[in-house]
Amino acid sequence: MLLFYILFSVFLIIALVFLIRPFFIHKEKKSSVVYLVLAGVVFSFFSIGLYLMIGQGKEFSHFLFVKAEQSSIAQSVAEYRKSPQKLVMDLENHLREDPGSTKGWFLLGKLYLSLQQPEKAVPAFAKANELKPNTPMIMVKYAESLFVLHHMLDAQSKALIHQALLLEPQNIDAYRLLTLDALKNHRDTEAIHYLQVLVSILPSDSEEQQKLLLLIEKIQKRLK
């Protein structure tokens, strides 16, 4: 900040010199024009400095900070894509320092699921659910981790999904889980019901909706 004020003062002095000098030195008109141009340039820098120091300068400084942060984030994402386990380790270290971070536990659970480690995902989602109960997104992911771990929807995961649907009746992920469980256990009629609910929720004529309609048709033919 001290450096900024020093530079600001220098630009101000130079600007004043350029403005005052033509009044004391009588030269040809061309020189006066040159001085005016130079004064304009210097005053442009002066204006930018003033802009950065007060008023909207804060917004501009924030913009520069955000751009730098975006670059840093992009670099970090590239590194984590090469080694997801590094992201897990960094997140675990963060949660040791801030164990009350719901988002941190939720993200950790999702990472463990993506790494096919449901036994570690379950306690992470359980912690997120404990910190922020009655959150459909967390409850459904918690149920999903239990489903992947046990290869079925047990009583606990069904209770989580039921509660999530009470809070958010059109939760697509919840109905996807119910459909998967029904299909896995050959409860075709139940699966058709859940698929029809999904079709009614999904955007009309979407690719997924069309695939589900074909699946319903296929299951119905199998039941005949």
Other CB atoms closer than 10 Å to residue 56's CB: what's the count? 9
The confidence score (pLDDT) of residue 205 equals 84
The confidence score (pLDDT) of residue 80 equals 59
pLDDT beyond 60 at 219:
yes
Nearest to 138 by CA among 148, 127, 150, 154: 127
Q: What is each CA distance from 109 to 76, 95, 161, 180, 216, in whole angstroms?
A: 20, 12, 17, 20, 32
pLDDT tens column, 27-43: 444 455 445 445 554 44
For residue 96, give the H/E element and its range: helix 84-97
The confidence score (pLDDT) of residue 71 equals 53
Q: pTM higher than 0.75 for the full model?
A: no
Domain boundaries, the chain: 1-82
The SS3 assignment for 132 reads coil
